[in-house]
Amino acid sequence: MRVLIVEDDPLLGAGLATGLGQDGFVADWLTAAEPALHALRLEHFDLLVLDLGLPGRDGLWLLRELRREGSTLPVLILTARDGVAEKVDGLNAGADDYMIKPCDLDELSARLRALARRGCGQPAPLRRAGDLTLDTVAHVVTLGGEALTLSPREFDLLEILIAHPDRLVLRTQLAASTQGWQGEVESNSLEVHIHNLRRKLGKRRVLTIRGFGYQLVSEPAL
Look up the CATH number of the domain holding residue 50: 3.40.50.2300
Helices 152-162, 189-201: crossing angle, 10 deg rounding = 80
CB 197 within 8 A of CB 147: no
Residues 106, 183, single domain; the answer is: no
pLDDT for 187 equals 55
pLDDT for 109 equals 92
Average of pLDDT values for 93-111? 90
What does R_g of the chain's alpha carbons equal in angstroms? 19
Whether residue 48 has pLDDT greater than 50: yes
**Of 44-48, 64-68, 183-187, 196-200, which gets the smallest average pLDDT?**
183-187
| Predicted TM-score of the model (pTM) | 0.56
Residues 40, 99, single domain; the answer is: yes
Residues 97, 142, single domain; the answer is: no
Residues 203, 145, single domain; the answer is: yes
Domain hosting 102: range is 2-117
Residue 182's alpha-carbon distances to 139, 161, 178, 185, in angstroms, are 22, 20, 8, 8
Q: Looking at the domain assignment, is residue 222 inside a domain?
A: no
Average pLDDT of the chain, as a whole number: 85
Q: Give the pLDDT band (50/70/90) at residue 182.
A: very low
Residue 116's alpha-carbon distances to 5, 34, 54, 91, 97, in angstroms, are 15, 24, 25, 17, 12
Residues 136, 106, single domain; the answer is: no
Q: Give the pLDDT band (50/70/90) at residue 128.
A: confident
Residue that finishes a domain, picked among 91, 117, 143:
117
Centroid of chain to Cα 18: 25
Residues 103, 7, single domain; the answer is: yes
